[in-house]
Amino acid sequence: MLTKRIIPCLDIKDGRTVKGVNFVQLRDAGDPVELAKIYSDEGADELVFLDITATVDKRKTLAELVTKVAKAINIPFTVGGGISTVEDVKVLLNAGADKISINSAAVKNPDVINEMALEFGSQCIVVAIDTRNVDGIDFVHTHGGRKPTLLKTQAWAQEVCERGAGEILLTSMDHDGTKAGFANEITAEISFMLSIPVIASGGAGNMEHFKDVFTFGKADAALAASIFHFKEIPIPELKQYLSGEDISIRK
């Protein structure tokens, strides 16, 4: 039986792991390679690395980090942050990343999704969508959730799926950093609407929140950062809890 995935997200700045609370305040949580290995050994199903300082001159540093991670761990991982061209993707996949994720660049130039999917296959193209509810309507936001767009989240999700995205990483900016639970409603809406997997992100605070996002939220995977980095929820305990709640989980 296909299992629900638990995905720790490692925010990377200058080669170190950080986690922003609401993406503004940053705390240092260690060496990414070491942390990746720990998560992989603890039973994380996949990892996401988000380079929050990704600039052109940092690209090489990121590729070097990706190679170190690929050599160290035996589970799949996705790399995102500042990726905008087919060439960016090629460098990271060749360095050993299994998937890449794009966000702002896809909003700016949606054709790039088609180009990347055609060149490398949909399976390695994750489109990250940051959503915020404004007066009852869900709008896509870019630049770490700071910049609103006129795109409605549901319509954009449908479009990226049609353009060849292999998965959607949906982050609710309203829930991110709150620890009050995932945005189950919009996650379910999008998961139900699309034929590709949806990774829910933003708002995890306790183990029940994961159960809720897999049941009510219809998520295929759930992503979180600080609660894992600061050992508030150990992954083995979380998986044991979810198994006990009849959620299909890899043991």
Partner 1 sequence: MQVAVIKYNAGNVQSVLYALERLGVHAVLTDDLEQIAKADKVIFPGQGEASTAMRYLKEKQLDKLIPNLKQDFFGVCLGQQLLCEHSEENDTPCLGVFPVKVKKFVPANSADFKVPHVGWNNLFDLKTPLLAGLSDESFVYYVHSYYCELSEFTIASTNYVLDFAGLMQKDNFYAMQAHPEKSGLVGERILKNFLSL
Toward partner 1, which CB reaches closer, 45 or 138? 45
**Is 45 annotated in the active site?**
no
Minimum CB separation from partner 1 for residue 159, in Å? 17
Spatial separation of the C-alpha atoms in residues 86 and 89, rounded to whole Å: 5
Asked if residue 71 binds partner 1 (CB under 8 A), the reply is yes
Is 120:93 a contact under the CB 8 Å cutoff?
yes
* Burial of 89 from C-beta contacts in 10 A (0-12 / 13-18 / 19+): buried
The residue written with tokens 């936001």 in the block is 141
**Is 11 annotated in the active site?**
yes
Asked if residue 247 binds partner 1 (CB under 8 A), the reply is no
Minimum CB separation from partner 1 for residue 116, in Å? 12
SS3 222: strand
Asked if residue 192 binds partner 1 (CB under 8 A), the reply is yes
* Burial of 154 from C-beta contacts in 10 A (0-12 / 13-18 / 19+): middle
* Burial of 37 from C-beta contacts in 10 A (0-12 / 13-18 / 19+): middle
**Which positions ≥6 away from 55 have C-beta within 8 Å?**
82
* Burial of 157 from C-beta contacts in 10 A (0-12 / 13-18 / 19+): buried
Which among 49-57, 95-103, 205-213, 232-240 is the span making contact with partner 1, rule CB under 8 A?
95-103
Minimum CB separation from partner 1 for residue 122, in Å? 7
Query: Among residues 160, 153, 162, which one has the least CA distance to residue 188?
Result: 153
Which among 54-62, 93-101, 177-185, 229-237 is the span making contact with partner 1, rule CB under 8 A?
93-101
Pick one of 60, 94, 185, 230: the residue that binds partner 1 (CB under 8 A). Answer: 94
Toward partner 1, which CB reaches closer, 13 or 68? 68
Minimum CB separation from partner 1 for residue 244, in Å? 16
Single out the catalytic residue among 45, 130, 174, 212. 130
Asked if residue 96 binds partner 1 (CB under 8 A), the reply is yes
- Residues at the interface with partner 1 (CB under 8 A): 1-5, 40, 45, 70-71, 74-76, 93-96, 98, 120-124, 166-167, 192, 194-197, 220-221, 250-251
Query: Which residues carry out catalysis?
Result: 11, 130
